[in-house]
C-alpha cells in the first residue's frame, strides 16, 4: 500500500538530509551499480514493532535516487522488501522483521534512515503498549490517548505507532476539534465564558467536538452544566477524578472525562480505578526511548 503524500514527503526529506547532493560516496566508491545483495533488519530488544511498512517505499525512493544519478539509468534491479512481522506485532532480540534484496548501494544508502524511523516509531508503540497493559490489568474501561506532543512532521506516523501499541488517538491538530485549554479560559474570563462562546460558535450541530480543560472541582461543575462533549481533568488527584466521575454519572449526561497531566506508568492504575473514560499522556510520543534495531548484510 502506497503511503499518503505527507509520509512520502517525509521519507524524501529524510533521505535528502542523509544523501545530500553527492549521495552515499562510501558505498559508491566500493560497489558497482549492478552489485546486489540481501540484508535482514532485526530487533535487538523486546517490544512492539511500528514503521516496518515504510521500508518498501523508502528503498523505492533510494532506487529512484540512484537511477536519476546513474550514467546508465535503469540498469540496476529494483530493491524489494519481504516483511516477516507486521506493525503492532511483538518483537524479541534477534527477530527478523524484514528482508531487503537489491542493489547493495540502495540497501546501504537507505539503511540508517529506515532504522531511525523503525526505532523511533517502535519506541512509541512499545511505551504505549506498556501503559495500555497497566491500564487493562485493572479491568476498567479507561483508554489511553496520545496528544499533540509529537515530533514535527512525524505526527501521522507517531499516531499510527500509538495505535500499534493499543492506544487511541486524540485530535490530529488544531483544526479538527475545539479544545479549550487553561490559556483560553484565563483570557476569556473563566470556564463558563470560554465554553459558552465555543458552543455558540459551533451552533446546534455536533461537529466539531468541544472539549474543555478544568483544573478544579469548581471549574468541573461549571463545565458539566454546559454539556460539552468532553472535559479534561488537568493535574487532579485520583480522589478528585473519582468525585468528577461520580458527579458525571449521577447527572446522567454522556459527557466524556479525560484525565491529564504528569501521567506516569506508576500512577496509571490509581487513575484507572476511578473509571475515568480516558487518560491522555504526552510522554508516549515525546519521551519514548527508541527500540534498537540493526541491519545485517547476508550477501
| Residues tagged active-site | 112, 149, 181, 213, 234
Instruction: From 81, 102, 114, 106, select the one nearest 27 (Cα to Cα).
Output: 106
- For residue 123, give the H/E element and its range: helix 104-136
CA-atom Rg of the chain in angstroms: 24
How far apart CA 218 and CA 117 sit, in angstroms, is 44
Q: Angle CA(173)–CA(175)–CA(180) in degrees, nearest 5?
A: 80
Task: Provide φ and ψ at 158, rounded to 5°.
Answer: -70, -35
Q: How far apart are CA 69 and CA 76, in angstroms?
A: 12
Q: 110: which residues sit within 8 A by CB, 6+ positions away?
A: 15, 58, 59, 61, 62, 79
Quote the longest CA-to-CA distance of the chain: 75
Residue 107, CB half-sphere, CA atoms under 13 Å: how many?
29
Sheet holding 80-83, edge to edge: 80-83, 96-103, 36-43, 293-297
Q: How many residues in total does the chain contain?
A: 299
Amino acid at each position: 500500500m502506497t503511503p499518503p503524500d505527507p509520509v512520502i514527503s517525509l521519507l524524501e526529506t529524510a533521505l535528502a538530509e542523509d544523501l545530500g547532493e553527492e549521495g552515499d560516496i562510501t558505498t559508491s566508491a566500493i560497489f558497482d551499480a549492478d552489485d546486489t545483495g540481501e540484508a535482514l533488519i532485526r530487533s535487538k530488544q523486546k517490544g512492539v514493532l511500528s514503521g516496518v511498512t515504510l521500508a518498501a517505499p523508502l528503498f523505492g525512493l533510494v532506487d529512484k535516487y540512484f537511477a536519476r544519478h546513474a550514467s546508465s539509468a535503469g540498469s540496476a534491479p529494483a530493491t524489494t522488501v519481504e516483511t516477516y512481522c507486521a506493525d503492532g506485532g511483538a518483537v524479541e532480540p534477534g527477530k527478523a522483521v524484514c528482508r531487503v534484496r537489491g542493489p547493495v548501494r540502495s540497501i546501504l544508502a537507505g539503511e540508517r534512515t529506515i532504522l531511525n524511523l523503525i526505532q523511533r516509531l517502535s519506541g512509541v508503540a512499545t511505551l504505549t503498549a506498556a501503559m495500555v497493559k497497566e491500564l487493562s490489568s485493572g479491568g476498567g474501561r479507561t483508554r489511553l490517548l496520545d496528544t499533540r506532543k509529537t515530533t514535527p512532521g512525524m505526527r501521522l506516523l507517531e499516531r499510527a505507532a500509538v495505535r500499534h501499541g493499543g492506544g487511541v488517538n486524540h485530535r490530529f491538530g488544531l483544526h479538527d476539534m475545539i479544545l479549550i485549554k487553561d490559556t483560553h479560559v484565563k483570557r476569556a474570563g473563566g470556564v463558563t465564558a470560554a465554553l459558552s462562546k465555543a458552543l455558540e460558535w459551533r451552533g446546534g450541530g455536533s461537529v466539531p467536538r468541544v472539549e474543555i480543560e478544568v483544573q478544579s472541582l469548581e471549574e468541573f461543575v461549571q463545565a458539566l452544566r454546559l454539556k460539552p462533549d468532553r472535559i479534561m481533568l488537568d493535574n487532579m488527584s485520583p480522589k478528585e477524578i473519582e468525585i468528577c466521575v461520580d458527579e458525571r454519572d449521577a447527572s446522567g449526561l454522556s459527557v466524556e472525562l479525560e484525565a491529564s497531566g504528569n501521567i506516569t506508568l506508576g500512577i496509571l492504575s490509581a487513575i484507572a480505578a476511578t473509571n475515568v473514560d480516558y487518560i491522555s499522556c504526552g510522554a508516549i510520543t515525546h519521551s519514548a526511548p527508541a527500540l534498537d534495531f540493526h541491519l545485517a548484510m547476508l550477501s
